[in-house]
Amino acid sequence: MARVDPSIDEGALGFQIAPMIDVVFVIMLFFMVMAGAVKVEKELNIDLPGVADTDAPVNFVDEQIITVSDVGDVTLNDEPMDSPQSAQLPQLTAALSRLRQSAEAAKSPLVVTIVSDQVARYSRAIQVLDALAAARIEAVTFTVSDDE
């Protein structure tokens, strides 16, 4: 049998650096390509809740709701005002004048919303608008109730 001389290294290749460099270049290329595809997060300009500035006045809208029913009843914030036969609506006009004065004293805007029934008379809605004009209230919105 032939003897093997251990001092001869015919098959030993040693540490190969070329494949390691190839792997490093492939990884570097991967990261360079992927760096362009990453979406950059942008900073959102938001104010988190915290302490409110008390120097500036806060304007709260004072909304009053006038309801006109199908039989002609007029209510201000669910309080009946005048009889259905009253064309001038003196109680409503006086109450609206007081509300306007208190809103002016508080320096807050006054908004009145008229909610009319679908079958209410147009003349009654006009009478309510006349009461608002007599009380010198200009911020008025009008809607129709959808109760069926």
At residue 60 the predicted structure's pLDDT band, cuts being 50, 70 and 90, is low
CA-closest candidate to residue 131, choices 66, 63, 62: 66
Render pLDDT for 70-82 as a digit per residue (tens, 0 to 9).
888 888 888 888 8
d(CA 95, CA 79): 11
What pLDDT is stored for residue 109 in this prediction? Answer: 85
Tokens of 70: 């199908």
Beta strand pairing status for 74-76 and 79-80?
A: antiparallel
Render pLDDT for 85-137 as a digit per residue (tens, 0 to 9).
888 888 888 888 998 898 888 888 888 999 988 888 888 888 888 888 898 88
In this prediction, what percent of the chain has a pLDDT beyond 70? 81
- Does pLDDT of 22 surpass 80? yes
Reported pTM? 0.57
At residue 56 the predicted structure's pLDDT band, cuts being 50, 70 and 90, is low
